[in-house]
Structure 1
Amino acid sequence: MGTEHATRPAFLPGQPLPVPSDTNASVGDGVYAKDGVFRASRMGHFESDGNATLLSVRGERPPLVIPRPESTIFGRVTRVMPRQATVSILVVDGLPCGGALNAAGASTNRAAGEGIDGADFQGILRQQDVRSTEKDSVVLSQCFRPGDILRAVVISLGDARSYYLSTAGNHLGVVHAVSSDPDMCGSLGWAPSARAMQPISWKEMADPVTGMVEPRKCAKPDWL
């Protein structure tokens, strides 16, 4: 089955299927018709019965990947405390894992491992692992905020529920963050806006509209 799927193209949601528009066929699972064109409603492989009277697209769940030492991960910060930050791991070495199936916005903020399927992975970023210099002077709240997306590496397996992470590298740190909106302050004294910030140094990001600068431990952009 794996070899068969490897030789057949996978269709993305919205892509037209290789079926003539005048085909008298029924729409099956994973297929819809619009303007006389049969299209896939999910990612997967196109299938039809022998007479092409029932069309379907068989979806496939991505493989469950497990973080390992030296793996590069992308994760969402879910909690920031004085000595450590908690991260929901979304991507491991370029492959999505449990947390990636959930929304990545701060509005769904929760600790990893609390998903229904238990497939989420939790990472712990300790104060001493944020950067390689002046470790004792690191202030976690000036490096990360809940909802930030960061790039990190796994340095050890930690305990049964979490992995120890590190951002001590120029290419590691926050890769996506939204600015605070002072006009919509919540109980924490800040609220996220809809504007993605841009890094202006390794420790600062700026709102492109207001110019307001916020502290972050930034990952060096790939284009630099």
Structure 2
Amino acid sequence: MGASTVCPGDRLFQAADYAAGSGTYVKGDHIYSSLVGTTRVFDSSLTAQDKRPVVEVLRSGSRAKVPEAGNIVIAKVNKVNPRLASASLLCVNTQPLNDKFSGIIRQQDVRATEIDKVELYSCFRPGDLVRAEVISLGDSRSYYLSTAKNDLGVVYAKSLSGVPMIPLSWQEMQCPETKVVEKRKVAKVN
């Protein structure tokens, strides 16, 4: 089901197959709309324990979500150089973004300790998905992001052979096929 206009009380999906997001409620075995707006379904599996897709209803004319200082975001790393990693923000607090936002993870914002020893290419690679905290608005083009807490860092990465890697420690991930170990700043899984 793509985005469609719904009214309060409209039945949307089976509650067993989808999780209820904002603008919805569960009654019996179904999820219903609680307001007039458009439906949106998104995958919450990267950040939530519940792996079901989330359905929500956005009020017509409602403001799009904008990252703010203190928000936890999921970002895709685009480029890495010795001083910073640039990324595209995908989600804010498990809610997908409608608009494009950029973020920068500076060398001093990667870890809380031994900041001067951080090598960014040993922490992130292009294509990695990173859980980070927005620390400030940054410059006119990008938000400043931090991965200095234990639960922040790489949450998904592919090996050179294109296989999703598994975390070994807070600073290493391994390809399950080739057994090659690559360095990353890994987010601690709760």
Query: Is TM more than 0.5 here?
Result: yes
Matched, 1:126 2:94: no
| Residue 154 of structure 2 is aligned to residue 174 of structure 1 | yes
For the pair 1:221 / 2:185, whether they are aligned, the reply is: no
RMSD: 2.4
2: distance between equivalents of 1:6 and 1:220?
A: 40
Aligned residue for 1:209, secondary structure, equals: coil
- Larger gyration radius, structure 1 or structure 2: 1
Alignment TM-score, normalising by the size of structure 2: 0.70
**Corresponding letter in the other structure for 1:163:** Y
Name the amino acid aligned to 1:10.
L
More helix by share: 1
Contact 1:11–1:44 at 8 Å: present in 2 too? no
TM-score of the pair, normalised by structure 1: 0.60
Instruction: Give the AA of the match of 1:67.
Output: P
Unaligned stretches of 5+ residues in structure 2: 1-5, 18-37, 41-56
Give the whole-Å Cα distance in 2 for the aligned partners of 1:146 and 1:94: 22
The answer for the alignment partner of 2:165 in structure 1 is 197
SS in 2 for 1:196: coil
Task: Tell me the amino acid that sits aligned with residue 186 of structure 2.
Answer: C
CA distance in structure 2 between the aligned counterparts of 1:63 and 1:7, rounded to whole angstroms: 23
Q: Distance in 1 between matches of 2:118 and 2:154?
A: 15
Query: Residues of 2 paired with 1:205 and 1:74: CA distance?
Result: 18
Letter in 2 for 1:210: T
Decide whether aligned partners of structure 1 residues 6 and 161 sit closer, same or farther in structure 2, where only a CA change above 3 A counts: farther
Deviations 1:32-67 (A, max 9, x none): xxxxxxxxxxx949xxxxxxxxxxxxx979962100
Structure 1 portions without partners, runs of 5+: 16-42, 46-58, 99-118, 182-192
Which residue does the alignment assign to 2:74? 74
Aligned residue pair count: 145
Structure 1 segments of 4+ aligned residues over 3 angstroms from their partners: 59-63
SS in 1 for 2:159: strand
2:77 aligned counterpart, secondary structure: strand
